[in-house]
Amino acid sequence: MENVVIIGTGCAGLTAALYTARANLNPLVLTGLLPGGLLTTTSIVENFPGFPEGIDGYELMTRMQKQAERFGARVKFETLDSIDLSQRPFVLTVDGERVETKTVIISSGAGHRHLELENERLLEKKGVTFCATCDGALPMFRNQPVVVVGGGDSACEEASYLTRFASVVYLVHRRDSLRASRIMAERTLANPKIKPIWNSAVVDILDVKQDKVTGVQLRNLVTGAETTLDCTGVFVAIGHVPNTQVFRGQIELDANGYVIRKNGSETSVNGVFVAGDCSDPVYRQAITAAGMGCAAAIDCERFLAAEAI
Nearer to ligand NAP, 22 or 195 (CB): 195
Q: Report, in Å, the least distance between residue 202 CB and ligand NAP.
A: 7
Nearer to ligand NAP, 76 or 112 (CB): 112
Nearer to ligand NAP, 47 or 270 (CB): 47
Residue 131 is a catalytic residue: yes
Q: Report, in Å, the least distance between residue 5 CB and ligand NAP.
A: 27
Q: Report, in Å, the least distance between residue 269 CB and ligand NAP.
A: 27
Catalytic residue among 11, 135, 153, 204: 135
Interface with ligand NAP by CB under 6 A: which residues? 47, 113, 115, 149-155, 157, 174-175, 179, 181, 238-240, 284
Closest C-alpha to 3, from 246, 301, 205: 301
Closest C-alpha to 36, from 62, 56, 18, 16: 62
Residue 134 is a catalytic residue: yes
Whole-angstrom Cα Rg for the chain = 21
Q: Where are the beta strands (DSSP E) in the chain?
A: 2-7, 28-30, 44-45, 55-56, 74-76, 80-84, 90-94, 97-106, 110-112, 128-129, 145-149, 168-172, 194-197, 200-206, 215-220, 226-230, 233-236, 240-242, 272-274
Contact 83, 93 (CB under 8 A): yes
Closest C-alpha to 10, from 64, 54, 59, 46: 64
Nearer to ligand NAP, 174 or 212 (CB): 174
Residue 294 is a catalytic residue: no
Catalytic residue among 81, 84, 95, 134: 134
Catalytic residue ranges: 131, 134-135
